[in-house]
Amino acid sequence: MKKIKKVSMVLTTIAASVLFGCAVSATPTGLKQIGDTTNAVAIDWDDTTIAGISNYAVFVSTDKDRWDESTIVEKSSGFVKSSEASITNLTPGSSYYVKVTEAAVDSDNNLHLGKWSDYIEIVTKPDDASFTGATVKQTAAKKGKVSISWQAVNGATGYEVKVSKNDTTADATVYADVTGTSLDISTNSPTYAGVYYYRKSSTGYVAKCSEGKQAYRVSLKPLPGKAKKPKIVSENVVGGVNVKFSAINNCDGYQVQYCKYNGKGKKNKYTATSQISLSSLNKKMFYKVRARGYVVLSSGKKAYGKWSKANVFCMDQTRHNCKITDASSSTTKKVKLAWKKVKGAKNYTVYMSKSRYSGYKAVATTKGTSVTLSSFNGSGFAYDQNYYYYVVANAKVGKKTYKSLKYNRDGFHFYRKYY
């Protein structure tokens, strides 16, 4: 920066084409802004190097009509290509206009001016202490994109948005340059974003906030993918079932919704993991259960992915509903099993085996609530033989058949006695 001297002199505009009898005064060219702070700008122009002219005068205006003297810039010895000036005491985030001319001082201390350069707009850096990472918010998450917004900064004419895959500025790239205070960013993966506010002049010079004044490392969450159909893992001790589903990447949590087989009585539960327990279910009813992932936006509102396909289930009927009402004897040689009606069931199937842990075969299917058995594998019940059974309720939803749980695969048993 060249030596800058403030002056207070009587200004005399040169009407002639010479300056103190020297050569014709040249018009300074190449005037441009080269630096900025919140309250100062630096400018530069081409040095005209006219013999006998030792100074330049810089004038500043807020409206291009009234021009105030700003500085007198002295040429330095050996400085022949350009001159510079710094203009201070300006307002943050503001526009001013500046022009420059050659100047000389006569023996009476009068300042004489040469030809003016064209004026240019100069700008100071906006400043907003309240603009932090917390002011940039994710407002929505949709398929393939996220939406962000931020507070307006006084004096800013635009905002540069940078994105990064990692929590660092090292690999940040400019995504968009906008004049508003919101933006949609296309992404299907977690993204970090920063917003840099600036003021831009008509010449294209940009006075932008510093790294320390940006809202970088704001984590943006894409919409979770579609969840897979939940699985019923087991019954639990609180009168319900344990539900598990595949984890979804980049997900803050899951919403699990269950209802009666007919879609009525919907209830929602939330979990941070990919499993949850449902309790106090009606043991004689089919239910539907589905799940979806969600992310939590800056406002605390949840943005949800697509629902999974619904799974349909009913609790173990052999344990909770079925009873032997008439066991085999030396006279009847029959066994009657009975149960109460299961809501949502189309029919019921009875399975039987001579082995506790394997070999079960379907021996009867009925729409009623009882069945009488007198044989197995084409033979009547043998004396002192254990027989094992379980009962399954069947529900038809669309083209698919769902069965009640049968975790007692070893079955309940009966046997024929001598009397």
At 40-85, the pLDDT tens digits run 999 998 876 555 556 788 899 999 988 877 666 655 433 333 478 8
Is 226 a domain residue? no
Q: What is the pLDDT of residue 108?
A: 83
Last residue of a domain, one of 296, 312, 328: 312
Which residue among 312, 331, 356 closes a domain? 312
What one-character-per-residue DSSP string does 263-313 give? S-S-EEEEESSSEEEE-S--TTB-EEEEEEEEEE-TTS-EEE-PPPPPEEE
Lowest mean pLDDT among 114-123, 128-137, 226-235: 128-137
Q: What is the CATH number of the domain that holds 242?
A: 2.60.40.10
Give the confidence band of 125 by pLDDT, cuts at 50, 70, 90.
Answer: very high
Alpha carbon distance 152, 155 (integer Å) = 9
* Residue 409 scores a pLDDT above 60: no
Q: For residue 217, is pLDDT > 70?
A: no
In terms of domains, do 187 and 101 share one?
no
Task: Report pLDDT for 15.
Answer: 32
- Cα gap 50→175, rounded to integer Å: 47
Residues 6 or more apart in contact with residue 34 via CB below 8 angstroms: 42, 43, 44, 84
CA distance 406 to 235: 10
Q: Check whether residue 307 and residue 328 sit in a common domain.
A: no
User: Structure tokens of 35?
Assistant: 């630096």
Same domain, 10 and 105: yes
Q: Is 186 exposed, middle or buried (0-12, 13-18, 19+ CB in 10 A)?
A: exposed
Is 128 inside a domain boundary?
no
**C-alpha closest to that of 69 among 22, 18, 108, 12:** 12
Spatial separation of the C-alpha atoms in residues 59 and 202, rounded to whole Å: 18
Rounded Cα gap, residues 115 and 121, in angstroms: 19
Beta bridge partners of 30: none
Together in a domain, 362 and 402:
yes
Same domain, 337 and 405: yes
Sign of the alpha-carbon torsion through 63, 67, 69, 75:
positive
Q: What angle do CA 237, 238, 240 make, to 5 degrees?
A: 95
For residues 103 and 15, membership in a common domain is answered with yes
Say if residue 11 is in the same domain as residue 91: yes
287 and 212, same structural domain?
A: no
Q: Evaluate whether residue 225 is within a structural domain.
A: no
Least confident of 16-20, 178-182, 297-301, 319-323: 16-20
Of 48 and 143, more confident = 143
Question: Which DSSP state fits 240?
Answer: S
- Say if 359 falls within a structural domain: yes
Q: Is 345 in the same domain as 385?
A: yes
Per-residue pLDDT, 186: 94
Whole-angstrom distance, CA of residue 252 vs CA of residue 244: 16
In a domain, 269, yes or no: yes
**Mean pLDDT (whole number) for 360-385:** 90
The Cα–Cα gap between 65 and 274 comes to 69
If one counts the domains in the chain, the total is: 4
353 assigned to some structural domain:
yes
User: Contact, 20 vs 14, CB < 8 A?
Assistant: no
Tell me, yes or no, whether 197 and 239 share the same domain.
no
* 114 and 152 both lie in a single domain: no
- 52-56, 97-101, 275-279, 412-416: which is most confident: 275-279
Say how far apart CA 141 and CA 144 lie, in whole Å: 8
**Assigned domain for 396 exists:** yes
Query: Which residue range is the domain that position 352 belongs to?
Result: 317-415
Amino acid, res. 330:
S
- 79, 94, 123: which is the final residue of a domain? 123
What's residue 77's pLDDT?
36
Q: Number of helices and strands (H, E) in the chain?
A: 1, 36
**Tens-digit pLDDT profile for residues 316-367:** 999 899 988 876 665 667 888 999 999 999 999 999 998 888 889 999 999 9
240 within domain boundaries = yes
pLDDT of residue 17: 35
Q: How confident is the model at residue 21 (pLDDT cuts 50, 70, 90)?
A: very low
Q: Phi/psi at 318 (nearest 5 deg)?
A: -65, -40
Q: Are 40 and 97 in the same domain?
A: yes
